[in-house]
Amino acid sequence: MTTNGRPPLPLEEKRKRGTLRADRLPPNGLTEVARLPISEGSPQPPEHLEAKGRAFWGAVFSGNDWLWAGVDDTLIAFTAELLDEREVLKDLTNGDPENTRLRAALRALDKQLVSNLSLLGFTPSDRARLGLVKVKERTMLDGLLERRANRDDHQWEPNVNELNL
153 pLDDT more than 70: no
The Cα 58–Cα 44 span in angstroms is: 9
pLDDT-based confidence at 109, cuts 50/70/90?
very high
Q: What are phi and psi of 6, to 5 degrees?
A: -75, 150
Percent of the chain with pLDDT over 70: 69
pTM (2 d.p.): 0.60
Q: In this predicted model, what pLDDT tens digit does every residue of 62-83 receive, in sequence order?
A: 767 777 767 788 899 999 999 9
